[in-house]
Amino acid sequence: MKLLFTSAFLIAGLACAAQSLRVDWNASGTVTKSTATLQVVGNPMLRPKAAMHDGAFAALRSLNADYVRYVPWFPYPKLAVAELEPPTATKTSWDFSLIDPMTIDFLENTKGHSVMMNFSTIPQWMFKTDNPVTYPADPNQVSWGYGGGTELRDPTLKELTDYYVRLISWYTKGGFTDELGKYHKSGYHYKFDYWEVLNEPDLEHSMSPQTYTKIYDAIVTALKPIMPATRFVGMAVAFEKPEWFEYFLNPANHKPGIPIDMISYHCYAAANPNQKFDAYEYSVFDKAESFVNSVGYIENIRKRLAPNTRTDINELGTFVSEEMRNKPIDPAFWNLSAGVYAYFFIELSKAGIDVIGESQLVGFPTQFPDVSMINHENNKPNARYWVLKLIKDNIKPGSTMIKTGVDGDGGADMLAQAYLAGGEKKVLLLNKRNKTITLKLPAEFKGAKVSTIDGDSGDNEATASVIGNDEVVLKPFAVKLITVGK
């Protein structure tokens, strides 16, 4: 009886054990090279006079981020494709009137910072299909069927590369001459720091790595003469399939002289079908952890085949279940999703990833509302945006990651990472659970400044406070940045 009582007492004691932060500032750490950023996907809410336009672009401008990815995307053909009909002997269909306003707004609101451009949608008429693929007359109407076809009608790829040469010349060379010899003047002379070749080719048009690599080489060969300073980004795959990385990263599979400056790929930590929100805190973090493990495997491939190639994981987000997507999304989801990005940033920094991009600036009902960084109801930045900004402003490339731990729960409920950043001691904390957690702090943290994003901060920037004792309280899915000092 005494043994049973003692065992029960010990179990209860462990369950209630206080969680405490452990930081060894004297232990040498890894210098991070990671940059926090985001992607902007073209859609009707970014058009002039759209409800979310002003708030979204103001937020983008305020973020002052580098490596911002811009993707006009196929569900809205008139907003993404500059030549919607094939040329004939007497006319062409070149038209930038609907594409330019969003694109110029993007370029003007990221001026002074590096951008990664990706006009990923190939005109549908360039593919062999049984019947012509139509598109809506209304540019705001979604058309998920526009991306059909798996084989280009021109096997030489000249038709495809000519399209991209003209499109890019429109934005960087002041204009272009079309297929009939007519000059189209734009007057634009923008600089593109990075050009990413297509988007999720493993899904869109179901390409093989062999087909994609051939297209990548052709596009880079055509674009390099008109953008000699631009660096090229390849793959942008939806799934981390080893055969893609093994093939594309092998220089022997490319034409001589083709640069592989950077690769990119994506991850969405999705809830399971019909899953209730109560279980999200476990499923999305489990999937995020699984992805991080896959990143380690991919990094081994990259280091073996192309060690000088950099990596941009430029679509990171969380999806709700289909059941939840058709209802108002639980407000706590935005803090959970923001916490998942903080998790990705910490763990992918450890893995040596160069660019860590959150997806995406604007979503809305019917168009991936669960990945939006702007609240479509009030047009204000939500918690996902504010956590990105908190990290981007405070933990820059060159910060030193310090040995950090959370005693008391083995890190199951919390994640902490300390940094020496900009001459200051900083600690990024996130609560992975839908409950309040109290964390005991080392004595040196008394008087430290704290920035907090949680349910109380809502669609506002981080709240500021000062630590008055030896602990800090993290509300459900809270993200905190503690600045201890120098």
Is 3 a domain residue? no
DSSP readout, 13-64?
Answer: HHHTPPEEEEEETTS--PBP--EEEEEEEE-GGGSTT-TTHHHHHHHHHHH-
Choose one of 381, 396, 411: the last residue of a domain. Answer: 396
Is 210 a domain residue? yes
**Contacts of 329 by beta carbon, 8 Å cutoff, 6+ apart:** 320, 369, 370
Whether 166 and 174 have beta carbons less than 8 Å apart is answered as no
| Rounded Cα–Cα distance for residues 135 and 142 (Å) | 9
CATH for 184:
3.20.20.80
Whether 324 and 331 have beta carbons less than 8 Å apart is answered as no
Is 204 a domain residue? yes
Is 8 a domain residue? no
End-to-end CA distance of the chain: 54
The single residue listed with the structure tokens 């399209």 is: 163
Is 165 a domain residue? yes
CA 397 to chain centre: 17
Phi–psi pair at 212, nearest 5 degrees: -65, -45
Q: In angstroms, what CA-CA distances link 197 with 97, 157, 237, 301, 338?
A: 23, 14, 11, 21, 28
| Rounded Cα–Cα distance for residues 350 and 33 (Å) | 9
381 shares a domain with 422: no
pLDDT means per 10 residues, the chain with 486 residues, are 38 55 91 98 97 98 98 96 98 98 98 98 96 95 90 98 98 98 98 98 95 98 97 97 97 98 97 89 96 98 98 97 82 98 98 98 92 96 98 98 88 93 95 96 96 97 97 98 91
**pLDDT of amino acid 8:** 39
178 shares a domain with 288: yes
The model's pTM: 0.95
Residue numbers of the domain that contains 435: 18-28+401-485
Q: Domain tally for the chain?
A: 2
312 bridge partner residues: 264, 355
Tokens of 229: 């300073």
Choose one of 372, 396, 420: the last residue of a domain. Answer: 396
**pLDDT of amino acid 328:** 86
463 bridge partner residues: 452
348 shares a domain with 427: no
**pLDDT of amino acid 116:** 98
314 shares a domain with 420: no
405 shares a domain with 291: no
Is 2 a domain residue? no
446 shares a domain with 372: no
456 shares a domain with 369: no
Q: Is 90 exposed, middle or buried (0-12, 13-18, 19+ CB in 10 A)?
A: exposed
**pLDDT of amino acid 326:** 75
428 shares a domain with 371: no
CATH for 429:
2.60.40.1180
327 shares a domain with 258: yes
359 shares a domain with 303: yes
Choose one of 337, 361, 396: the last residue of a domain. Answer: 396
Is 381 a domain residue? yes
**pLDDT of amino acid 322:** 79
| DSSP helix, strand, coil percent of the chain (3-state; round to 5) | 35, 25, 40
430 shares a domain with 362: no
Q: In angstroms, what CA-CA distances link 386 with 83, 127, 302, 358, 474?
A: 38, 42, 32, 12, 17
Is 1 a domain residue? no
**pLDDT of amino acid 323:** 76
**pLDDT of amino acid 410:** 60
319 shares a domain with 422: no
Tokens of 268: 């969405």
DSSP readout, 77-107?
Answer: GGGT-SB-S---SS---B--TTTHHHHHHHH
Tokens of 468: 């008055």
